[in-house]
Amino acid sequence: MLRRIIALVFIFSCTAVAWGILGATIFSRTYNAGPGLRNKVQSSWGSPQVQKPPSASYSYLVAKETTTTIDGRSVENVTKERAWATLPTDRSDIDVSIRLEHRQKGLLWYSTYRVSFSGSYVFRNDSGQEQPVSLYWPFPSEKAIYDELALTIDGQPLAYKSDKAAITATALMAAGSTRTLRVTYRSQGLDTWEYEFGSEVSQVRDFRLHMTTDFGDIDFPDNSLSPTEKRPSGQGWDLTWRYQNLVSGYNIAMAMPAKLQPGPLAGQISLFAPVSLFFFFFVMFIIATLRGIDRHPMNYFFLAAAFFSFHLLLAYLVDHISIHAAFVICSIVSVALVVSYLRLVVGMRFALRDAGLAQFVYLVLFSYAFFFKGFTGLAVTIGAILTLFVAMQVTGRLNWSQQFRAAATESGHAG
């Protein structure tokens, strides 16, 4: 009996090492290729977007006095230089619609989205005279596409010039007048969308930003403003930020919900696998002892191999199909291997009712607990306590010394 236990420990240890290698391989495949895959997603889809408000400014000449020394005498020179003044923004009215579209590269899902933007900004000419005003609207990202991009001034199309960073245009404003600049576009981004008031603490007046999403798992990153109004709308949310006179160094931001990552999940399940196998071996050992079933260490070796096949198949199947479908297929394959093998060793009743049920609980259900973030440890703990309770109840009157002596005697007779 002692030699069999040592053999079981050796089989378990070797399988645990194999799982450790498999888990490390999965994480290596996932994260070593991660930066390159992310760059590919950004190049084909778009990068995180940070939208800044447009600005309106005009130039004017200022006198600048300089003093030079000629032949020991100070000579004053007056030159004129061009300076710029920014017009105030009286009102900002913005509508944003975000539609989530996850994309998979390798073993990772990326939170990509489509965004529709429409912003109206009212500028006031407080210079006291008519001015040709330069309008500047920065792109939210250099790595993005902008479809249906349009600029209007008081409802009329506005001619503009653009480079990779911004759009510039010119409009004439009478003294004391206001003009409304409207910008609309459709674009694509990654992970986050942000509206930035300014690089430092900024003041905004009569501001409204209305955002709709088609996803319910909304998240506002740290150091961002929460909406002043929000309500569910279908599968998503209807969010509004409304301020009359805001002074803040925080911005408005939305983080896209992350999808269940197949690579890290498969790696975590593989590294946890020795725990599942330990409970399965423990239950099989108890049942065999209670029923007097004689099983050779080689039987346990093939059971460990069947367990390992679950994680090995899962590691490479998630590259091609969804993690949920891969999990179901791997579970069926592994349970079928165990049941079909043990029916030849012990019988169909034991293989299906005892071994099959134990494998379903300790391999399938324990592994599936990783799909519920934050509840894995609790689920495994409850399963371990219930297993311990059942084992203590069914073996409470068992004479272990007698069982071990009987097993040793049978081994001696067999030798």
* Segments of 225-282 assigned E as strands: 229-233, 236-248, 252-255
What does each C-alpha distance from 236 to 147, 212, 218 come to in angstroms?
Answer: 24, 7, 8
Query: Which domains, ranges and CATH numbers included, belong to the chain?
Result: 2-32+260-414 (no CATH), 46-60+82-255 (2.60.40.3680)
Query: Going edge to edge, which strands form the sheet with 192-195?
Result: 49-51, 192-195, 252-255
* Rounded-to-10 torsion of CA 399, 404, 405, 407: 120
What does each C-alpha distance from 206 to 88, 93, 94, 245 come to in angstroms?
Answer: 12, 8, 11, 6
Residue pair 136/107 in contact (Cβ under 8 Å)? The answer is no
168: three-class secondary structure by DSSP: strand
Distance CA(55)–CA(99), nearest Å, equals 28
Tens place of pLDDT for every residue, the chain, 415 residues? 667 778 888 999 999 999 999 999 888 888 776 667 788 888 888 899 999 999 999 888 776 777 777 666 776 776 677 788 889 999 999 999 999 998 888 778 899 999 999 999 999 998 888 889 999 999 998 878 899 999 999 999 999 898 888 999 999 999 989 999 999 999 999 999 999 987 777 788 999 999 999 999 999 988 899 999 999 988 999 999 999 988 888 899 999 998 888 888 899 999 999 999 999 988 888 888 777 777 788 888 999 999 999 999 999 898 888 889 999 999 999 999 999 999 998 889 888 888 999 999 999 999 999 988 878 888 888 988 988 888 888 777 777 676 666 655 555 544 4
Distance CA(182)–CA(57), nearest Å, equals 16
Distance CA(36)–CA(42), nearest Å, equals 10
Residue pair 282/387 in contact (Cβ under 8 Å)? The answer is yes
> 202-221: buried (b, 16+ CB within 10 Å) or exposed (e) per residue?
eebeebbbbbbbbbeebeee
Length of the chain, please?
Answer: 415
φ, ψ at 368 (rounded to 5°): -65, -20
